[in-house]
Amino acid sequence: MNFIFIEGLRLDVSVGIYSRERVAAQSVEFDLSFGLPEKAVQSDDIANTIDYAKVVECLRAEIGERHFNLLETLGEFVADLICNKFAAPWVRIRIAKPGALRGVRKVGICVQRGKPEDGE
């Protein structure tokens, strides 16, 4: 299966359970991989694939309007968005909060929906 990846996408997100996290958005890092429809590689036509620029634009708009208590909930939201709005047959998302804990470079979650056919 062919897939698109977007690595190191940084978005300011309102996420967290602590009062300090509810005051201001914080920088969150996303690594996304998602499968392409079969016709995407057969036609050489942007209309038959998933436009990664539109995915990023959509994430900025949708995530910017919400608060998430947990990274897990944010991950589920992003997975559902990519699968449902962009018809990706599978998606793998890593979301990290850099510097969330002293002495730890990043903490985060990984969400996967569907299964890559060729073991990506």
Whether 97 is catalytic is: yes
If you average pLDDT over residues 52-79, what whole number do you get?
96
What pLDDT was estimated at residue 33?
A: 97
Identify which has the larger pLDDT, 92 or 36.
Answer: 92
One of 85, 97, 106, 115 is an active-site residue; which one?
Answer: 97
Cross-sheet strand order for the sheet of 67-68: 67-68, 3-15, 26-35, 91-98, 106-113
pLDDT (tens digit per residue) in 12-63: 999 999 888 888 899 999 999 999 877 777 777 888 889 999 999 999 999 9
Helices 52-64/71-85 angle, 10° precision: 140
Residue 6's DSSP bridge partners are 32
pLDDT over 70, % of the chain: 96
Domains of the chain: 3-113 (3.30.1130.10)
Show Cβ contacts of residue 9 under 8 Å, excluding neighbours closer than 6 positions. 29, 30, 31, 32, 56, 59
What pLDDT was estimated at residue 58?
A: 97
Instruction: Work out the angle at residue 92's Cα, subtended by the Cα atoms of residues 46 and 84, and round it to the nearest 5 degrees.
Output: 55
Query: Would you say 35 and 3 are in contact if contact means Cβ atoms under 8 Å apart?
Result: yes
Please say if the pLDDT value at position 117 is more than 70: no
d(CA 80, CA 72): 12
